[in-house]
Amino acid sequence: MLRLGSALHANRAILVAQYAGQEGFLDATCAVRSIAAVATLDDLLDLRDAELRRCLGYIRGAAHCSDVAGSEIRLLCPLTRPTRIRDCGMITTHLRPAFAQMIGRLRQMDDVDTGPALQALESRLLGAGKRTLSWGERDPATLSASCDPIANPGGELDFELEMAVAVRRRDNGDPEIFGYTLYNDWTLRDVQVQTFARTLNLHGPAKNFRGSNSFGPMIVMADDVADPMNQILRIEVDGRLFAEGTLAAADWTIPEAVAELYSREPISGTELLGSGTVLGGSMFERGLVLRPGSSVVLSNPSIGTLENRAGEAA
């Protein structure tokens, strides 16, 4: 399994590569310098198709010979400047228990008319079997990487266990699934409930604050993953297994979702698409609240480990 990512090495951004299970990294920026000048994974994916394939062929052959120790680099978000980020509802099993929790919270509010919000959620629960692909926009300025602390701007901070898909634009303008990474869709639950009560929007400020969209640690090449829908996704909180699952119960396969999204509008460049949350992969749907300072670790054998620490409320 070949993984690619972006990192800082001696205060310089570089493209790094490694095979799953390997401790060190290849400085791929140096390895492909005779072919192309690339400082991050974004630069690599911006190359023309033929040039990208040449670089990847060279990296595959060289990555076994790591030349940079893990202690010498700091991994960045694999894509440091995606043109667009969307969290998609490929898998929706998480929504039923999450909506049930939200309905309970809305019924306790007395400072706003929650009738329309309650009706909207109950309608969504009744129509949960309908196969529609929805998504929420994420602000690219809110990216965070593995080992970054997640600041809490003031609210009930929660995590969500997801996979993300990196999609690049080919020379002819078509989307190409490049690879997969882990995605923690951090959410302020109290803000989400309050915002939905007033606007019927589940996303917005509850999902877009500093560091709220964590991706990483690297991107595993799609060519190396036979069945992304059955990849085991795990989440541990303070060292204890909290949830484990796959995308096998998804309403949409990843290729189907990509085809559906880009049939509506062209791909803008290199984009990240969240899968939606694996059932059980959040505190909120279980009626629990994340303790400030908790260590939250997402993992997958092919992709690696995405670890962050939840901050205290400001």
**Are 298 and 165 in the same domain?**
yes
pLDDT along the chain (314 residues), means of 10: 97 96 95 96 98 97 93 97 97 94 94 91 75 92 97 95 98 98 98 95 94 98 96 98 97 97 95 98 97 97 97 80
Contacts of 264 (CB under 8 A, 6+ apart): none
**Are 30 and 146 in the same domain?**
no
Q: How much is the pLDDT for 98?
A: 96
**Are 176 and 298 in the same domain?**
yes
Q: Kindly report the CATH number assigned to the domain that includes residue 288.
A: 3.90.850.10
Contacts of 297 (CB under 8 A, 6+ apart): 235, 236, 237, 305, 306, 307
d(CA 126, CA 195): 22
Q: Give the phi and the psi of residue 97 in degrees, each rounded to 5.
A: -65, -30
**Are 110 and 70 in the same domain?**
no
**Are 157 and 294 in the same domain?**
yes
**Are 62 and 104 in the same domain?**
no
**Are 54 and 97 in the same domain?**
no
Q: How much is the pLDDT for 126?
A: 74
**Are 92 and 115 in the same domain?**
yes
User: Could you tell me the residue range of the domain that residue 212 belongs to?
Assistant: 84-313
Task: State which of 75, 106, 126 marks the end of a domain.
Answer: 75
Q: Quote the pTM value.
A: 0.96
